[in-house]
């Protein structure tokens, strides 16, 4: 819980963020980038095929 010291509010980093970072953010980023690469590859082969 936040405390006051010398008139200033003191919080831990987790309290200031009000959440804990989890592996779900990394998974979401990896899946998004992978999906973007797949879509760009499909567009490339459909429109720029020689």
Question: What pLDDT digit, counting tens, does each position of 2-46 carry?
Answer: 788 888 989 888 778 776 667 788 899 999 999 999 999 999 999
CA dihedral sign of residues 22, 26, 27, 28: positive
What residue ranges do the domains of the chain occupy? 22-50
Rounded CA Rg of the chain: 22
Model confidence, pTM: 0.54
- In our burial notation (b when 16+ CB lie closer than 10 A, e otherwise), range 27-50 reads eeeeeeeeeeeeeeeeeeeeeeee
Residue 19 to residue 17: CA distance in whole angstroms: 5
């Amino acid at each position: 819980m936040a405390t006051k010291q010398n008139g200033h509010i003191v919080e831990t980093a987790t309290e200031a963020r009000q959440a804990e970072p989890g592996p779900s953010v990394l998974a979401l980023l990896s899946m998004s980038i992978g999906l973007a690469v797949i879509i760009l590859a499909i567009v490339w082969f459909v429109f720029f095929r020689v």
